[in-house]
Amino acid sequence: MDWQPLPKPAEIAENRLLEAILTGHFPINSSLPGERNLAEQLGVTRPTLREALQRLGRDGWIDVQHGKPTRVRDYWREGSLGVLAGLAASSHNRAPDFVLHLMEIRALLAPAYAEQAVQSGGNQIALFLEHYASLLDDPQVFTSADWKLHYLLTQTAENPIYCLLLNSFKSLYAVMGERYFAYAECRQHSRGYYDRLLSCARRKNGRAAGVLTRRIMQESISLWQTVQG
């Protein structure tokens, strides 16, 4: 039997606090209750609470300063990439255009790393893409395949920062990707991209790959807006 590890008390406390922040129980710029009071509310020890608060502070949800009340940050303006993962996993207080905003960021980055990757490693990219024409028409399959492709592109690109940025979005990519690929139109659109990118890779035409990727990313944004009504 595949036993799933039980969450640790600090993880439970962290998730409960995060839910309280996202539902507005602890609004932006409000102060959390004192440590003793908050620990009692959550049913955890104070050391466990401190661990949970440290995690939330690290990701940009709260501002923890010694001797001062813990403040709920304006996480849209003061948060870090950890906030993105939390927002993606939660159904509370997410901006209506959350997926769209993420797609716009990728539309800025992907053309550059696709061009570099195909120019310097076209053979490797082509070999990787050869089986993509036969991908199972399933949201999870497409999400995984799309992630693996972009991961390879960032690894093959000349600038290693691309890979670090993409890795920061890994958990987020899985959540948002399945929402995007839940639509047959989106899967079909990406299938066309994989086929044309394969052609660019075989020719080692990085410039064409960059132009293609820029157009496809913009079309993806329009397609998402269409399927969302």
Query: pLDDT tens per residue, the chain (229 residues)?
Result: 556 676 788 899 999 999 999 999 999 999 999 999 999 999 999 999 999 999 999 989 999 988 889 999 998 888 877 787 777 667 665 565 777 888 898 999 999 999 999 999 999 999 999 999 999 999 999 999 999 999 999 999 989 999 988 887 787 788 788 889 999 999 999 999 999 999 999 999 999 999 999 999 999 999 999 988 7
Residues 196 and 119 in one domain: yes
Residue 2: the pLDDT is 59
Task: State the CB neighbour count (10 A cutoff) for residue 123.
Answer: 11
Phi first, then psi, for residue 72 (nearest 5°) are -80, 120
> What gap in Å lies between CA 104 and CA 143, rounded to an integer?
18
Residue 170: the pLDDT is 81
33's CB contacts (< 8 A; 6+ apart) are 41
Q: What is the CA radius of gyration of the chain?
A: 21
160's CB contacts (< 8 A; 6+ apart) are none
Tell me the whole-structure pTM to 2 decimals.
Answer: 0.74
Q: Is the residue at 85 inside a domain?
A: no
Phi first, then psi, for residue 168 (nearest 5°) are -65, -20
Residues 34 and 109 in one domain: no
Range of the domain at 65: 9-79
Residue 184: the pLDDT is 96
Residues 217 and 130 in one domain: yes
Residues 61 and 106 in one domain: no
Residue 118: the pLDDT is 97
Q: Name the domain count of the chain.
A: 2
Token output for 112: 């550059």
User: Which region, left, alpha or beta, applies to residue 67 given φ > 0 means left and ψ of -120 to 50 means alpha?
Assistant: left
